[in-house]
Structure 1
């Protein structure tokens, strides 16, 4: 071996020694995590892992140059045992380097299949051990090994690694803890907390573009979701909260009671400290249009209770190095670290609580506190969570009339269906053999916001397709004489009865909730518009109608509405989402899940009726009624929001 090749060998030795020490530290932390069942990675670990990637890349060229130069010189040597072991060492070393590059997921060489990555990972773990063993065999067949130097290096590395692992074991950070009570003074009457009790920088909560770089499919779904447009980027919501804040300033001299809204709708300005300012610009402030960001949901560490009203704890997440850097090289380094070693990223942003209905209860269960209404300390608001638990859909109610083929363990089964994806987070979520993600459009009932935003057609279609099969209506029976206590003739099929001219009948229409796992309608049940549209006709035209819309697309006020008619203390309807004025409902026509409601329609057959009569029943849905939309956009607004036939 000449001096140049000998010098190159020393470069390989030095890099390998550094990489070996670095690997020993990383392996020790990994073993500690496996042994304890906890994640001990921290910012220092990420820096060390970045060093692992850099050292690995630096090792490639000198190793290749040395290996093949040495191979060319040693190919014909008489010590065939050393040559054969050298071949094996070269093959194992190449496997080590190739598996390392594959695990890095370098652009153009990205392996996303979880099973393939598992094989690559264990290849990368085992091949260094084989390489050391083969190197010893290779040297035993040649010049004498300098054991003293190797043992000294190993002892030093072991000592440092033991110290570092001890420090990791004493890591004071606790995962998924409830926020301290000190946060109450900042966040009440919302039940939201931060892990430290302090505010979180707004830019940390608004890193959606950062998430998009690796989760493009998920980002595109979320971008068009109602979660994204939960805040002041939603014109109807902006109107209601602006009116509330103006009302609170006049009544209380501050806007603190509006925190009740912000804990779920305006998390970024709220938890960053901007929301309490009475001069907060709800149209132009950088945080006003953030909505429920990726970080807002995925940095929640604890569900404090199932009381709702934002009963969660959110922490400022620890990112990999250079997460906020604008430097292209540093951004690339950050992405490669996450792709190569995503465990810490996954632990930080994806938790078991995200699979629980309790997580959704934090914002999809609401009560109105006394600080808001100045009436009672507690009034029930919307409540998806309890009605889900008490439904046949969850498997928690044996008295439901209708059950799905398989009970849903959580809200995700319906509202986050799986879909094929090439995102880096895609997994095998079912038996299809395709990599999939959960749909972050959250298909549900809000068809109003996509229309107002002029969202792509597929967004509206996703929501409308979701409605299919949820509700069924039937003309079940009729009562001759038109009174409720008259004899019931039912069912009216297969033998359809003949109606007598001049006679009055009561038609019994049944609305059944089939697949819903919560009350129908739910959410903003006072401004959701769900109504029966019933038309009686013969071939000559319409004989009677209930539920029609006039030229301005206002619904007949005498229609049967499946909603809540809420009143203020003066008996006026709560018709502009003015939650602070809620006093009591006049009626509540919501239908429980797996249940039914009966609607009565009286009709008198004309005296001269000779032609057959047809009765058409439709249950229509429109997100936001005309009265509310006129408050938002002015008296001249024509309510063109889409009407879905359920």
Structure 2
């Protein structure tokens, strides 16, 4: 006896359900069972699994309705209970599958994928038990129809299985073939007749190297917009950051154009390895190409792109000047293709198989200070300055010698040794797919001291963060009260509470000459203060003394009418000089051969500055002595040369630390 006509629709649905279910099982478990790598085949299987899952979901729920409607009156309790449990298990399997397809396989939601896999195994087990139980408990008087029914069913299942398997194979082959053709026909940005101006290395004098020893396609180093499609929180931070603006920073644009005008485009490789790796690695820095300072270019828009850091496999040396080794990562299916549905398939493959992405792009090196040293160490050699080897900034060495690095003597150690990333990339809240269980990611604002850039690009959030960062008591300023030279020693016994006082009342006398000591302690900066481009930065002490009627007694460190600092100002900066002893004030480091002045405060050190104070006869009591450590990113001379409008909004001055003391003023003491 054949299958009744009234059940044919249900059986047809069952055919498709079983065929797709087998595809789901094969595509879902093959990569795990065979321990496949995270390559294109694994991604293709994941996409087939996703497609089959959505189709089988629609078939399953329609089939379940038909099946329950037909069997609801049967009095076989065990079979019905197993069927209901199986239905609920498949519902959970479908629900978790849909959630994973939207959210992706997230580390913070590892339970979702784990439960999906466990439920899949449970579903297979329940399905087998349900079928066996159904056969065992099937009424004997109706079993005569079962053999022919099963034969008919099995015959009709073979064809759908073959069709579905064929379609799945065709889809997989099409995906892999199409991806291969697209990726291997991606345009190359390299300029023809590339000029090897500094030897055989294509990137010299930058110390950058690549896996192939030559240029890379733009898709491997640029296209940060694709990263932001998933990493929206981190992307928003990076878009505002100094890394993102490393190439379109107006001070850099002015400076790199000066280098091009003076020596040609090839020498810009020295700068672009750190400021615009996209231009360097794609072979643009040669006659006929464009450096990162050119508006509208990809290198200018992206600056230090996502892959500029996440594409680094290791460092080539400890010398700095972009001494990193860039390794193109294995691309996901249809990467860098802005055509629907191929870009959709790329996103889904990335969400479903993120292991390769995480392994490739989250190198342990990214968590170490040594990684930052590749660009925050700098030197210039004869190939650039026609003079000789000159040491420049080295934040890594300054950090290495600080208390924040693991010291040889434990008594000098900081209670929590810190890497560069701990201060400049702290954990912050972000709505991002990479957020941890607490909803936090490593900050990609890269907050430092560049308040000017945040203001220039109108990012008030970053400006306030930078201002707060500078005012976190990393530099402590204190004024030592002047000693009272009229105080006399006594042999009288003093009570303990008096002896324990650290500061004693002092007074100054009209006409008296005093040295006021101001102490600046670098207690929280992981390197010397100031750091970075200290030939452009200015940190100084604003010193003032007022009498009781708020009349100015003396001052030092006030801005002149043209915005510059007075000659008597105590400034923390560097003055670079060229071979003729003239100041290299335009940051044209290719002319630098040495320094005539360097004043910085090493990490953990204190600088003691003395200011002269002569108390005038007209001064009334008390005297208020105040000192403020101020900072601005650009000195006035360079600011004017760059043609940025001078205002608080363009080049803000930040008060980093301050202190004040009040001292009584007395008449001159009687002559002894």
TM-score for the superposition, normalised by structure 2:
0.80
Match runs of 1:130-141 below 5 Å: 130-141=122-133
Deviations for 1:200-235, whole angstroms, at most 9, x for unmatched residues? 22244332222222222211111111101111x111
State which drifts further: 78-87 or 142-151.
142-151
Q: 1:185 aligns with which of 172, 196, 201?
A: 201
Cα offset, 1:544, TM superposition: 1.4
The equivalences for 1:363-378 within 5 A come to 363-376=375-388, 378=389
For the 8 Å contact 2:557–2:566, the answer to whether it is kept is yes
Deviations 1:234-271 (A, max 9, x none): 1111111111122223xxxxx43331111100111111
CA distance in 2, matches of 1:624, 1:451: 13
Deviations along 1:114-163, whole A, 9 cap, x unmatched?
A: 55x32221222122222222222222231578999999x9xxx9xxx9xx
**What do you get for the CA RMSD once the two structures are aligned?**
3.1
1:630 to partner: Cα distance: 1.6
Corresponding residue for residue 614 of structure 2: 604
Q: Which position in structure 1 is the counterpart of 2:452? A: 448
Matched, 1:504 2:513: yes
In structure 1, what is the equivalent of residue 87 of structure 2? 90
Query: Aligned partners of 2:542 and 2:408: how far apart in 1?
Result: 31
Q: Which residue of 1 aligns with 2:344?
A: 332
The answer as to whether partners of 2:573 and 2:599 remain within 8 angstroms in 1 is yes
Q: Pick one of 616, 621, 628 that aligns with 2:638.
A: 628
Residue in 1 aligned with 2:363? Answer: 351
Q: Deviations 1:271-319 (Å, cap 9, x if unpaired)?
A: 1111223663642452233201112121222222332111111223333
TM-score normalised over the length of structure 1: 0.83
> What's the offset of the Cα at 1:516?
0.6
Query: What residue in structure 1 maps to residue 232 of structure 2?
Result: 216
Partner in structure 2 of residue 240 of structure 1: 255
Residue among 466, 472, 494 paired with 2:469: 466
Change (3 A) 1:480 1:278: farther
Equivalence for 1:265? 275
Unaligned runs of 5+ in 1: 33-39, 165-181, 250-254, 429-433, 482-490
Choose from 9, 13, 16 the match for 2:18: 13
Alignment partners' CA distance in 2, 1:560 and 1:400 = 32
Matches of 1:319 and 1:496, distance apart in 2: 72
Q: 1:392 and 2:408 equivalent?
A: no
For residues 62 and 550 of structure 2, the distance between their equivalents in structure 1, rounded to whole angstroms, comes to: 93
Contact 1:536–1:543 (8 Å) recurs in 2: yes
| SS of residue in 2 equivalent to 1:363 | helix
Give how far 1:188 is off.
1.3
1:349 CA drift (Å):
2.1
Contact 1:43 1:321 in 2 (8 A): yes
The structure 2 residue matched to 1:413, chosen from 417, 422, 439, is: 422
Whether 1:206 aligns to 2:222 is: yes
Q: Which has more radius of gyration?
A: 2
CA distance in structure 2 between the partners assigned to 1:622 and 1:543 by the alignment: 26
CA distance in 1, matches of 2:400, 2:154: 67
**Between 325-334 and 577-586, the greater mean CA deviation after superposition:** 325-334
SS at match of 2:285: coil
Q: Structure 1, residues 527-575: CA drift from partner, whole Å, max 9, x if none?
A: 1011111112212511211100022222113311111122111111121
Structural mapping, 1:478-497, within 5 Å: 478=482, 494-497=503-506
TM-aligned CA distance change 1:289 to 1:83, over 3 Å: closer
Change (3 A) 1:326 1:119: same
Q: Which residue of 1 aligns with 2:654?
A: 644
**Could you list the per-position Cα deviations for residues 45-70 of structure 1 after superposition, in whole angstroms to 9, with x for gaps in the alignment?**
21221111111111111122222312
| Change in CA separation of 1:54 and 1:113 when aligned onto 2, cut-off 3 Å | closer
Instruction: Give the 3 Å change call, closer, same or farther, for CA 13–540 of structure 1 in structure 2.
Output: closer
Aligned to 2:625, the other structure's residue is in SS state strand
| SS class of match (1:614) | strand
Partners of 1:399 and 1:548 in 2: CA distance: 42
Q: CA deviation at 1:359?
A: 1.2
Paired positions, count: 584
1:93, distance to aligned residue in structure 2 (A): 2.0
Residue 26 of structure 1 pairs with residue 18 of structure 2: no
* Contact 1:504–1:603 under 8 Å retained in 2: yes
CA distance in 2, matches of 1:50, 1:92: 22
CA distance in structure 2 between the partners assigned to 1:587 and 1:278 by the alignment: 40
Q: CA deviation at 1:465?
A: 0.1
Contact 1:392 1:398 in 2 (8 A): no
1:120 has 2:112 as partner:
yes
Q: CA deviation at 1:508?
A: 1.9
